[in-house]
Amino acid sequence: MTGVKTNERPGTKAVLRHYHMSASKARQVLNLIRGESVDLAAEILNGTEREAARVISKVLASAVANAVHNDGQNSDDLYVAAAYADEGTTMKRWRPRARGRATKIRKRTCHITVIVDRLPEDRLERRLAARQAAGTQRSRRVAESQRRADQQQRGRRRDAAREAEIEAIDDEVGENEEEIESTVAVDETVVVETDIVEEADQDESVSEEADQEDAKPAKAAAKKTTKKATKATKKTTKKATASKDDDAESEEKGK
């Protein structure tokens, strides 16, 4: 028993007739979307850079619209059940060639048919399970991202609080430093005054010592002069006493 023919597949179809393109070019694109879901087929056609892809995407959209509006189907549950291209009429033209001959020009056309139908139950169940898994994964990712965002926000708050504490401490330290600088300035003035007084005392002591050192040779010279003077006076007194004695002796002798 033969299977169901392609044009007898159950489902909703859309047909484009007498399109000016060869059937072989259209079949190359139709082979890409056959058996795929409607969403995936549309993505494949949007990413295919061929003229047939643009035309077949319009036929696919028409088939989906027919299934939704005429048969009451859900567009998310549809897939491409069949897609084929039949040869249409071929227009024959002639081109003159050398030696009086003529060459045929075949301008081919095709009939593009796309049939969409509801997915089987097993595929729907698998897709539903995959979507639920993706949803749970997405919810997990969202929860994880929210948790990271909350952690970052708490970290920002902690950083802001720390910065506020640091600023308060810096202000207190600045005030303390100003007080310390003022007290240090007063102490420095006192120290400078004491240093000046000490330097003045040291200068006076040094000057006194210098004066004493300068006075030492003068005292020595004065001592020497006094010693010489005493020696001279002693000699003169001796001479005077000796002359007196001689005069007395001479007077006694004269008597």
Q: Is residue 233 part of a domain?
A: no
93 and 54, same domain (yes or no): yes
Look at residues 44, 49, 21 and name the one whose alpha carbon lies nearest to residue 33: 44
In a domain, 254, yes or no: no
Same domain, 97 and 130: no
Domain hosting 137: range is: 120-207
95-152, pLDDT tens digit by residue?
A: 999 999 999 999 999 999 999 999 888 888 888 888 888 888 878 888 888 888 888 8
Report if residue 14 sits inside a domain.
yes
Does 124 map to a domain? yes
The confidence score (pLDDT) of residue 66 equals: 94
102, part of any domain: yes
- pLDDT number for residue 116: 95
**45 and 112 inside one domain:** yes
Coil/strand/helix, residue 202? helix
Q: Which of 119, 135, 164 is the last residue of a domain?
A: 119
Residues 69 and 96 in one domain: yes
Assigned domain for 236 exists: no
Do residue 136 and residue 104 come from a single domain?
Answer: no
**pTM confidence score:** 0.54
Instruction: List residues bridging with 114 in a β-sheet.
Output: 14, 83
Residues 112 and 26 in one domain: yes
Please report, as a single letter, which amino acid is at residue 177. E
Per-residue pLDDT band for 36 (boundaries 50, 70, 90) equals: very high
pLDDT digits (tens, 9 = 90+) for 184-241: 565 556 555 666 656 666 666 656 665 566 555 656 666 666 666 676 666 666 666 6
Assess whether 94 and 164 both reside in one domain.
Answer: no
Secondary structure of residue 199 in the 3-state scheme: helix
Looking at the fold, whether 71 and 92 belong to one and the same domain comes out as: yes
Stretch 87-93: mean pLDDT, rounded?
94
Helices (H), the chain: 23-33, 38-46, 51-71, 121-254
Do 13 and 115 share a domain, yes or no?
yes
Same domain, 21 and 101: yes
Could you give the number of structural domains in the chain? Answer: 2
Q: Is residue 230 part of a domain?
A: no
User: pLDDT of 244-253, one tens digit each?
Assistant: 666 666 666 5
Those residues whose C-beta lies under 8 Å from the C-beta of residue 46, and which sit 6 or more positions away, are 53, 57
- Domain final residue pick, 62, 92, 119: 119
Query: How does strand 12-19 pair with strand 110-118?
Result: antiparallel
pLDDT digits (tens, 9 = 90+) for 157-168: 888 888 888 888
112 and 134 in one domain? Answer: no
